[in-house]
Amino acid sequence: MGELKHRGLRPDVQPGRIESVEGELLPEVPRLSTDELDRLEEDYHLMASKGWPPARAGVAPATAPAPAQVRAYVLERYRVDLGSEFMGRPVAHPFGKASGQLSLAAHQVEEDGAAGLAFVVLKTVIAQDEKGGQGMQEWAIPEARMLLEPIASRDPRGAPGSGRLGWTITWKGRGWSGGLESYLSFVRESLTIGKTCGMVVVPSCLFYLPGPGESDWHESEYRYTVRRLWEVWQEAADPASASEPEPAAHFRSAATPPLLLEKDFSPTLAGSSRAAAREKIVEWMATVPRIVDESARAAGGAVRLGIKLMNSRFDDDFQVEMVRALMESPHAHLVSSLTYANRLFDPRKIAFGKQGAAFGGPDLSARNIRILTRLRRLELRGELAPLPPVSATGDVSSGKRAMEYALRGASTFQIHTFFQLPNPFYRLESGSKTARALHQLLFHPAEGLIAWLLHGGRTLGWRADDGVIRWQTVTSWWRQEGARYFRG
């Protein structure tokens, strides 16, 4: 018992028996020294009234972008380096914003950068061909209404989150409704904001997905949309290339960093017949990366593709099969990031006059953590090809919940609902929702990420010889010492 307590895990979690508690690893509260707790409580309460983001001692706030200020402050104050990577790009810390209604306007992106967000995935555009045709036009709904509701876990199996209360957003609306040209203008402006703010910006796209009985992939939509996105990306990387003759612009494209692009599968949740076809879903996983890559090459560019996986409406075994189809296809090497995984679906829920709605909350993180545990176990046994870097999404409502994902190798987090709580649920007294959420996620003395990183430094040996706890040490724990717990 003493050894298990020293390791900082729940005492009933033993090596090789993680499945017995459905994957929950962390104890109820972090183990901190008096000094560590005092510093956290001081920062948490002082920042609440003095403002955000925190500034490193002796450095004027204006000398560094807000995300870098957050990273520098935490490193100096706690000897914790939050630096991570998202889609191959360095980010100041692991918290970002998921694609959705909170990333569809330039003022939102600007506000996020000023608050210190590390990255943002823009609202999902619906692919179109050169003539403006959209095979999935039904997903470009102009109306965008959202309803925030409390939600309690309904999972009867004792999974992580059982008995917890949380929040869920129900919305009416799907992808970008303004057409590709307006989206490209938005991407262009957002990339400029991201550069100024030191925040990574990534566009998101829903490409055509054939349904049951279909064989046409509408590849012209893939080619045209990727080409236009690449052109905007190239301009942002090298503004001069947009006005130069074609040969010079084409020559410079070889030096342009790959287009970062997230392929969104999540709309398949919304009661569509596409979501009920197992064989087609498997086919999507094996085919989409190839067509996107070929489309980028045809445009003279390159793409770094992130795949945002949905929670299928089938059982856990199929969820694993879906990931296996993606990672063991001939084109798996084209996937540079895996966003796992979006919301669950309740066919009985009535929302905005329609039956069937997606939902989040504790049951969502419970399933995600359960599946990630299975996937990591399969990797360690050599029964599944290695996953690319994982960006976790789904009920990331505290630093502790984020840490449960990180112990399964998630290196970044994409948040949506937690940026929309009523102001009294945050401690920060002023500022944007993004600023309030980051303050809570990082500095809460019991639930914040810094507290749990310090806990791991004391109990799991995460502090290096130079005294620094590095985020990369945490996200690789599952394949090193943590492997003892994941192997069944």
Lowest mean pLDDT of 77-81, 313-317, 454-458, name the range: 313-317
Evaluate whether 306 touches 87 at the Cβ level (below 8 Å): yes
Per-residue model confidence (pLDDT) at position 105: 96
**160: pLDDT strictly greater than 60:** no
What does the pLDDT look like over 338-356, one tens digit per residue? 999 988 887 777 777 677 7
The residue ranking higher by pLDDT, 268 or 36, is 36
- pLDDT, tens digit (0-9, with 9 covering 90-100), for 192-217: 999 999 999 999 999 999 988 899 99
* Confidence grade of residue 239 (pLDDT, cut at 50, 70, 90): low
Residue 394's alpha-carbon distances to 111, 340, 365, 400, in angstroms, are: 22, 8, 6, 13
CA separation, residue 88 to residues 67, 304, 338, 363, 387 (Å): 17, 8, 12, 30, 14
The predicted model scores a pTM of: 0.92
Q: Which residue has the tokens 């957002």?
A: 190
Query: How many CB atoms within 10 Å of residue 289?
Result: 23
CA-angle at 111, arms to 41 and 126, nearest 5°: 125
Given a cut of 70, whether residue 184 has pLDDT beyond it is: yes
Domains and CATH numbers, the chain: 80-441+470-486 (3.20.20.70)
